[in-house]
Structure 1
Amino acid sequence: MSATAAGISSPLLAPALSGGDTSPFLWRSGAILAFAGMLTGALGTHGLKRRAGITAADLHAWETASTYAIVNGLGLMLVSMHRRFSTHRFAGLAILTGGVMFSSSIMVLVLQRYRLFGPITPLGGLIMMAG
């Protein structure tokens, strides 16, 4: 069933499920990011509890970072199937860059406490939202 037949008339909501331009780079990047989020979430849940100095707030921050990685990965996979956004010069790359910056900076802060990474988290969030 086509997007028009389903009652969706907006070009923003009409994914290229049958043909059209899709981005293998965005699809693969999204799959890798979602996998990394699942992996770090599982490892963090089980491994961080045994690490000295890890607080409940650290575990929550880690969970947030891994959740955002999964959500951004899935979002990239959806964007890669869209006629317009799969070839957009900014949208997919901004989601990818911002998502990686956001999640990885939180994880570095939890593991190493490098305060230099503190400003990277909101910057990554802004880039991610712009995408």
Structure 2
Amino acid sequence: MQRKWMMLGAVLTMLSVAIGAFGAHMLKEKIGADAIAVYETGVQYHMIHAIGLLIIGLTAGQLGPSTKLKWAARLLFIGIIIFSGSLYVLSISGIKILGAITPIGGVAFIVGWLLLAIDVWQRGRDRS
């Protein structure tokens, strides 16, 4: 589990840098300031949650794998796809309905972080 999520986190972090650079250099003049702001929000959340996957991998290495950690990682990954992905497509295409699915990704982020916190809290108490 540790290796899988750390590798995915590293790849997704790299992709967030590449996607951000693409937006800054290729899209800025083409899609307008409001759309760039939406795009940049997608990049920011993409990066933060890819780092979250690295943290989950490190946590699994310290505490061992668990069902909660697996679900936390899955939800952060799903959140990146739905939240950031919908913002990328929305900003480039202008299809406003995509904004309706963005909150689903946000909920995935929230639940993923909550599961990480619960797992660390519960297993940390057992070690004290």
Q: Provide the residue aligned with 2:109 in structure 1.
A: 128
Indicate the RMSD between aligned Cα atoms, in angstroms. 1.7
- How far off is 1:86 after superposition? 4.6
- How far off is 1:67 after superposition? 1.2
Mapped pair 1:57 → 2:34:
yes
TM-score normalised over the length of structure 1: 0.75
Alignment of 1:103-114 (within 5 A): 103-114=84-95
Say which one has the larger Rg.
1
More helix by share: 2
Structure 2 unaligned segments of length 5 or more: list them.
Answer: 113-128
State the SS of the aligned residue for 2:70. Answer: coil
Alignment size in residue pairs: 108
- How far off is 1:50 after superposition? 2.7
| CA pair 37-106 structure 1, distance change in 2 beyond 3 A | same
| CA pair 95-30 structure 1, distance change in 2 beyond 3 A | same
Shift >3 Å, 4+ stretches: 83-87
Give me the whole-angstrom Cα distance separating, in 1, the residues matched to 2:64 and 2:99: 30
Give me the whole-angstrom Cα distance separating, in 2, the residues matched to 1:110 and 1:65: 9
Q: Provide the residue aligned with 2:83 in structure 1.
A: 102
Q: Provide the residue aligned with 1:34 in structure 2.
A: 13
Q: Provide the residue aligned with 2:56 in structure 1.
A: 79
Identity %: 28
Give me the whole-angstrom Cα distance separating, in 1, the residues matched to 2:45 and 2:56: 16
Q: Summarize deviations over 1:30-63 as a string: whole Å, max 9, x none.
A: 1121111111111101111232xx2211111111
Give me the whole-angstrom Cα distance separating, in 2, the residues matched to 1:77 and 1:63: 21
